[in-house]
Amino acid sequence: MAKINVNGQVREFTAEPDTPLLWVLREQLELTGTKYGCGVAQCGACTVHVDGVPTRSCQRPANSVSPREKVVTIEGLSKNGSHPVQKAWVKMDVPQCGYCQSGMIMAAAALLKNRPNPTDADIDAAMTNICRCGTYGRVRAAIKAAAATGSKQAKLDIQHTDGSVA
Ligand code: FES
Ligand code: FES
């Protein structure tokens, strides 16, 4: 039995050496907000944070994540959808089918944590997620809307559901 720190809680799991983090999150920890798209690190649907770094969980073996590393999934980004990125997503009505959107939001939250006022080039570099519904324009607009509300860095910090701040 291995241990992993997810959304502020230490959880236990069992996995083969090559079992992706994505499958542990979804199938053992029942955190199904993180999606499977391509399985080859291309689409970004499976994006979570590992110590604040946006990580494609389909390609990260679960056993390679230390219990000292903090994993955050879409379920742990905030309480009640209150992260500025989540609010901006609602305000700008970003999702279509929604399948890619948790990965998009996690990538955007990591971007804004590091660059509270990103340029278009910053957004292009960070947002490599694929959306088959073509929401790219609204994703960009929502990132800028979130940045506009987050003039203080603290507003863009990740409020873990356990009360800690990343
Ligand atoms: S499912 Fe991981 S990048 Fe597509
Ligand atoms: S909203 Fe449908 S895949 Fe992006």
CATH number of 2-76: 3.10.20.30
Sequence ranges of the domains in the chain:
2-76, 84-156
> Concatenated DSSP letters for 119-157?
-HHHHHHH-----TT--HHHHHHHHHHHHHH--SGGGGS
Ligand 2: which of 47, 133, 136, 140 to mutate, most ligand atoms within 8 Å of CB? 133
**Interval 67-116: pLDDT, tens:** 999 999 999 999 889 999 999 999 999 999 999 999 999 999 999 999 99
45 to each of 120, 163, 164, how far by Cα in Å? 21, 26, 25
**Which pTM does this prediction carry?**
0.92
Q: Report whether residue 100 contacts ligand 2, using a CB cutoff of 6 Å.
A: yes
Average pLDDT over residues 25-29: 98
Give the residue, by CA position, lying nearest to ligand 1 atom 3.
41
Superfamily of domain 84-156 in CATH is [2Fe-2S]-binding domain (1.10.150.120)
**Interval 39-64: pLDDT, tens:** 999 999 999 999 999 999 999 999 99
